[in-house]
């Protein structure tokens, strides 16, 4: 059956370019073996934070992780070994137009990784040119059909980057774009993707400021006999105050069931560890506490 029945609390750390560039300063080249090992170690630290949180006790939903194979293969393997639910990405990192990380072999790779959820990230704005939307639509449909045929859960994350015109219409103010324009565009994006054959079980949605905006998304993702399809709130690296606002807006809406938050949970802790200002143990505990704090806000609205 399409959809997912429980709340999902996903600690997302499938970041690839974000970590190599943002923390290691790697730009315009492939990372060295030493740099790859450093990022892999960061993934271990985040996973240890997740496990510490889980050991402290999480009820009322399914704790899960989202981690890539490139730097986190060891984490994926350990998650499988100890029965942690995990999602794995199949998109090329950092692309403006969605494409498969493993090309024509994506199906074989999905079977090999054997994640609980298969995730893609797509940038889509209704004002994008027709060719871009067609190419992305066809690729998403191809993946969606394959996942249906192979009975695997599909987690679709989309971002709606502002066009120049849209940003100009709110005086270049990103916060106004996010609150005044993006909510309507997000509904349009879901409709456009669905029309082109995208059929995910879980939509990973950029945070929306109001319950009404979340309800509009919930209606459109459930349309057409998809009543069990769910949305989870995406953190987008925002500060705790903003993420908490988004979590509160979504938590009371039928159809919203949890979150997928990454940088907002681990970034400062990893940065502190990387620069030597924090011990590994401190970073792990901070990550655990941050993750548990977001779960508490989602569950209790506080």
pLDDT digits (tens, 9 = 90+) for 228-259: 999 999 988 779 999 999 999 999 999 999 99
Instruction: State percent of the chain over pLDDT 70.
Output: 100
2: in domain? no
Tell me the residue range of the domain where 130 lies: 8-300
277: in domain? yes
pLDDT digits (tens, 9 = 90+) for 101-122: 998 889 999 999 999 999 999 9
Averaged pLDDT, 271-282: 97
- Looking at the predicted structure, is the pLDDT value of residue 216 above 90? yes
84: in domain? yes
**Three-state secondary structure of the chain:** CCCCCCCEEEEEECCCHHHHHHCCCCCCCCCCHHHHHHHHHHHHHHHHHHHHHHHHCCCCCEEEEEECHHHHHHHHHHHHHHCCEEEEECECCCCCCCCECCHHHHHHHHHHHCCCEEEEEEECCCCCCHHHHHHHHHHHHHHHHHHHHCCCEEEEEEECCCCHHHHHCCCCCHHHHHHHHHHHHHHHHHHHHHHCCCCCCEEEEECCCCHHHHHHHHHHHHCCCCCCCEEEEECCCCCHHHHHHHHHHHHCCCCEEEEEECHHHHHHHHHHHHCCCCCHHHHHHHHHHHHHHHHHHHHHCC
Q: Which residue bears the tokens 């199906």?
A: 107
Residues 234, 259: contact at Cβ < 8 Å? yes
How would you class 175 by CB atoms within 10 Å of its CB: exposed for 0-12, middle for 13-18, buried for 19 or more? Answer: exposed
How far apart CA 127 and CA 124 sit, in angstroms, is 8
pLDDT digits (tens, 9 = 90+) for 23-48: 999 988 999 999 999 999 999 999 99
Look at the chain and report how many structural domains it folds into: 1
Report CA dihedral (173, 176, 178, 184) to the nearest 10 degrees: -130
pLDDT class of 17 with cuts at 50, 70, 90: confident
pLDDT digits (tens, 9 = 90+) for 42-91: 999 999 999 999 999 999 999 999 999 999 999 999 999 999 999 999 99
pLDDT score at 1: 82
pLDDT score at 28: 85
pLDDT score at 302: 58
3: in domain? no
Question: Measured between alpha carbons, how far apart are the two ends of the chain, in Å?
Answer: 33
Q: Cα-flanking dihedrals φ and ψ of residue 98, to 5°? A: -55, 130
278: in domain? yes
How far apart CA 60 and CA 302 sit, in angstroms, is 16
Averaged pLDDT, 10-31: 92
pTM: 0.96
218: in domain? yes
Q: Which residue bears the tokens 């908490």?
A: 244
143: in domain? yes
pLDDT digits (tens, 9 = 90+) for 144-191: 999 999 999 999 999 999 999 999 999 999 999 999 999 999 999 999
47: in domain? yes
Q: Residue 113 CA to chain centroid, in angstroms?
A: 18
> What mean pLDDT, rounded, does the chain reach?
95
CATH of the domain at 104: 3.20.20.70
């Amino acid at each position: 059956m399409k959809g997912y029945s429980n709340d999902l609390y996903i600690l997302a750390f499938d970041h690839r370019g974000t970590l190599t560039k943002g923390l290691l300063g790697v730009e315009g080249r492939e990372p060295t073996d030493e740099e790859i090992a450093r990022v892999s170690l960061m993934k271990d630290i985040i996973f240890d934070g997740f496990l510490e949180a889980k050991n402290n006790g999480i009820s009322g939903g399914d704790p899960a992780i989202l981690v890539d194979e490139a730097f986190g293969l060891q984490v994926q393997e350990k998650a499988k070994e100890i029965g942690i639910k995990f999602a794995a990405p199949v998109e090329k990192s950092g692309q403006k137009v969605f494409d498969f990380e493993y090309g024509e072999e994506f199906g074989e790779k999905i079977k090999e990784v054997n994640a609980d959820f298969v995730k893609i990230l797509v940038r889509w704005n209704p004002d994008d040119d027709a060719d871009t939307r067609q190419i992305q639509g066809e690729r998403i449909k191809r993946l969606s059909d394959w996942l249906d045929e192979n009975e695997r859960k599909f987690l679709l994350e989309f971002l709606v980057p502002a066009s120049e015109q849209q940003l100009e219409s709110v005086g270049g103010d990103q916060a106004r774009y996010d609150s005044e324009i993006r909510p309507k565009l997000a509904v349009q994006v879901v409709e456009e993707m669905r029309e082109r054959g995208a059929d995910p079980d879980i939509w990973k949605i950029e945070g929306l400021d109001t319950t009404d905006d979340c309800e509009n998304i919930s209606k459109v993702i459930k349309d057409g006999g998809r009543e069990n399809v769910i949305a989870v709130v995406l953190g987008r690296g925002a500060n705790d105050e903003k993420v908490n606002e988004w979590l509160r807006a979504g938590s009371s809406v039928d159809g919203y069931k949890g979150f997928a938050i990454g940088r907002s949970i681990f970034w400062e802790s990893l940065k502190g560890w990387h620069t030597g200002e924090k011990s590994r143990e401190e970073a792990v505990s901070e990550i655990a506490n941050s993750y548990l704090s977001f779960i508490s806000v989602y569950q209790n609205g506080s």
